[in-house]
A = this chain, B = another copy of it.
Amino acid sequence: MKNVVKIALAGFGTVGTGLAKILKENKEWIKKRTGKEIVISKILVKNLNKPRTLIPHPNTIFVDTPEALFQDNDWDILVELIGGIDLPYQLITKALKLGKSVVTANKALLSMKGKDLLKLAETQNVGLYFEASVGGGIPIIQTLKESLSGNKIKAITGILNGTANYILTEMSQNELTFSEALNQAQEKGYAEADPSLDIKGIDAAHKLTILIFLAHGVVYPLEKLWVKGIENIETQDISFAKELGYVFKLIAQVKEKSGHLQAGVFPALLPQKHILAKVDGPFNAILVQGNAVGPIMLYGQGAGDLPTGSAVLADIISLIKNNYAPNNTGFIESPFKDANILDNVSVVCEHYFRFQVLDKPGVLSALSGIMGEHNISIAQAIQKAQNKKKGVPIVFLTHRARLGDVEKAINEINRFDFVLQPTVHYPIIH
């Protein structure tokens, strides 16, 4: 066997340079682990003239076209770290067709085109690895594919987006508004100039579909996922939650019920004692409930050059150590059926409501009356005095109730003329 493994790297941004740094810093250690030297032999970049402070290896060649990257095919693994859909799809498809293994961090691509790509990898009997696509350096992909593969997974509950978690942590701990927290996240490099994928829950949704595929062996089409972002969370709801012993988190969750899956990405209240409630700032965590292992949680940095580079390197090492025998999905035959989906109206959980109402007699009784008519039982209520014009907020925490019933109740309540703003509602997760 050769003693050098050659990497063709597509993209030399944050994660690509992170990978290059780790390969340099830990070169001797990686040799002890793999018996090989891992060398980045070619890098596809947009602009060949951009000055580079980090040159991975004296022999590294920078190229600016896919053709040049594939010329001679003198490398072993394609590492795709460009982002986007079309060009990565072309590059990965071409590499797989050439019988090359591929490592990618591209969750959007996997969420949308993963089925095609995994089918192709299976036909070609080559590796398509993607540890870095979910949870940065957290080994959640490996854990689902291997360590927990003998478990039936009952539930996955994750904090999968570090930007959203940073914003919610700042809103909660330092009483910032959403837009103040977002500005701060952008200044610190935790949020991009266009943060919509992160704050609208779409990035977490991409990641959740990947986890569902590995845990349950079915495809959950992205467009069928219930996705709600954090952009409308108000400071007063964060305060009420805190007063009641809860924190806000953007949760990505899938639950299995008799062969059907219930899944979504949404802001929710978690009790302060919940293990995920302690996951603050840009950190990610994934709580997995297996029918044998019980609850386990993996926690770490969900982004960043070195953590994500570490996950890419884990895939490269895994391919080398298994002599490129692929274990892409953790299943003998990749299962590409669509999930049996349980509609979200049938979700049963506790709920948080905030009504903004005129402060007049009969209001509380009318609100609780509607709740009762829809089988929603109130566990706690808070009413506070406030500015007369804007009305007063009334907060209810309820016992477990169907989401379908909750939606009906909210529709009726919003029709009352004493209700001054659309009712605010969030699920509570235990």
For A131, list chain B residues within 8 Å (CB). Answer: 147
CB distance from A307 to the nearest CB of B (A): 5
For A150, list chain B residues within 8 Å (CB). Answer: 22, 26, 29-30, 33, 310, 313-314, 316-317
CB distance from A304 to the nearest CB of B (A): 7
- Given A278-B275, A299-B299, residue A293 in contact with residue B147 (CB < 8 A): no
For A137, list chain B residues within 8 Å (CB). Answer: 290, 292-294, 296
Contact B291 A25 (CB under 8 A): yes
Once the chains are docked, how many angstroms separate the CA of A316 from the CA of B150? 10
**Partner pick for A296 among B278, B295, B299, B317, CB 8 A cutoff:** B299
Contact A313 B292 (CB under 8 A): yes
Once the chains are docked, how many angstroms separate the CA of A139 from the CA of B293? 10
Q: Digit string of A6-38 for contact with B (CB within 8 Å is 1, else 0)?
A: 000000000000100010011001101111000
Copies of this chain per assembly: 2
Check: A257 CB closer than 8 A to any chain B CB: no
Q: Digit string of A314-337 for contact with B (CB within 8 Å is 1, else 0)?
A: 101110011001010011110100
Once the chains are docked, how many angstroms separate the CA of A404 from the CA of B331? 54
List residues 146-162 of chain A with CB under 8 A from any CB of chain B: 146-152
For A138, list chain B residues within 8 Å (CB). Answer: 296
- Given A294-B306, A300-B293, residue A331 in contact with residue B33 (CB < 8 A): yes
Once the chains are docked, how many angstroms separate the CA of A294 from the CA of B303? 11
Once the chains are docked, how many angstroms separate the CA of A313 from the CA of B137? 25
Give the number of residues in A that approach B within 8 Å (Cβ atoms): 58
For A32, list chain B residues within 8 Å (CB). Answer: 217, 331-333, 335
**Partner pick for A26 among B18, B278, B291, CB 8 A cutoff:** B291
Check: A301 CB closer than 8 A to any chain B CB: yes
- Given A147-B139, A150-B22, A322-B322, residue A293 in contact with residue B310 (CB < 8 A): yes
Once the chains are docked, how many angstroms separate the CA of A332 from the CA of B33? 5
For A300, list chain B residues within 8 Å (CB). Answer: 293-297
Once the chains are docked, how many angstroms separate the CA of A278 from the CA of B325? 40
A-B pairs, 3 with minimum CB distance: A296-B300, A139-B147, A137-B293
Interface residues of A (CB under 8 A from B): 18, 22, 25-26, 29-30, 32-35, 131, 137-139, 142-143, 146-152, 217, 275, 278, 290-301, 304, 306-307, 309-311, 313-314, 316-318, 321-322, 325, 327, 330-333, 335
Q: Name 7 A/B residue pairs within 8 A (Cβ), A-sorted.
A: A26-B151, A29-B150, A35-B332, A137-B294, A138-B296, A278-B278, A294-B306
